[in-house]
Amino acid sequence: MKHLRMLLLLAPVMLLGACAANHARAQRDQAHLAAVHAAAGKPVGSFNYMMSTLYSWEPLSENELLIYTRPDKAWLLNVGLCQELPYTTAIGLTSHVGQVSSGLDSVIVHGGNFPCHIQEIRPVDVKLLKQKMEQRSGGKVVPEPGKQTEGQ
């Protein structure tokens, strides 16, 4: 009985802690998304791509993906609604003659049922992105290689 009372007293405290952690993470995610958008340029039709040049990638939402083709070269892809994107462990990109093109190519989500068609491509100024993230967080932002990708 004593343990039950202790648990009942601690449950609200644990719940408040979890809510605060979720709120802090949501704020970090929003700040990161705002920094990516601020560092993204005007839409372009395509970018050079060979399957071996996918350095890193990061889902930003169900419809946006940040692709690094090199540590200093990034692209913001809008793929419409792609529900599996935030949860996938691997992606691939279709390409034609060494180019990924909006309106033609897709992001292939590992385990997904349908390709996510690329609707818009925007180049990202990686140097500016790093500066904005450092200003917001005080920390250094470097893309990490290593998420396994599936080439198409």
Residue 144 lies in a domain: no
Checking if the pLDDT of 147 tops 60, the result is no
* pTM of the predicted structure, to 2 decimals: 0.74
For the stretch 9-18, pLDDT in tens is: 555 555 455 5
Residue 92 lies in a domain: yes
97 Cβ contact partners less than 8 Å away, ≥ 6 residues apart:
none
Residue 10 lies in a domain: yes
Cα–Cα distance between 151 and 52 in angstroms, integer?
Answer: 8
Residue 149 lies in a domain: no
Both tokens of residue 151?
A: 């080439």
pLDDT of residue 152: 46
**Percentage, residues of the chain above pLDDT 90:** 58
Residue 73 lies in a domain: yes
Cα–Cα distance between 69 and 147 in angstroms, integer?
Answer: 13
What is the number of structural domains in the chain? 1
Domain of residue 131 covers: 2-137
Residue 147 lies in a domain: no
